[in-house]
Amino acid sequence: MHVEIYTDGAAQGNPGPGGYGVILKYGDKVKKLAKGFRLTTNNRMELMAVIAGLEALKKNGLDVEVISDSRYVVDAVERGWLSDWVKKNFKNKKNRDLWERFLQASSKHRVKFKWIKGHNDHPYNEMCDRMAVEAASSPPLAVDTGYESGLYN
């Protein structure tokens, strides 16, 4: 089974209110997810979008293609930076809480990433962007405890 997950994150200010938008596609089925946070960063929302998409999958062992305009997320995985960060116990790296959560969620599937240029008229990327921006400005906003605690930024 093949699932496509389109993602985008946004922050109004960096840090500031933020949100993510996710579209999951499986065959002709489409599911949309979005959530806003009162204080976070753009990179955290880009990564949180991927995590939310992966955690929404109900079956394990899926072939998953994550399509994202985030170089931070795509390059960290595809270029092996994340593996190096794990080996070094995330020393001096931000967002450890989310990267560990990503590792847990992605370990259940065969995940590949595809980078696409943002704001380039890709319909699902544009939709995810609108969802993320709207979520960031739609109360009630959740607390990004990893960011606000100061432990992981």
Active site residues: 8-9, 46, 69, 119, 129
- Say if residue 15 is preceded by a cis peptide, omega within 30 of 0: yes
- Calculate the alpha carbon distances from 52 to 67, 84, 103, 105, 121 in Å: 14, 24, 12, 9, 23
- What is the rounded CA–CA span in Å between residue 131 and residue 126? 9
- What's the N-to-C CA distance of the chain in angstroms? 36
d(CA 67, CA 116): 7
Do strands 16-26 and 29-40 pair parallel, antiparallel, or not at all (unpaired)? antiparallel
DSSP-assigned letter for residue 57: -
Q: With contact defined as beta carbons under 8 Å apart, do 110 and 60 qualify? A: no
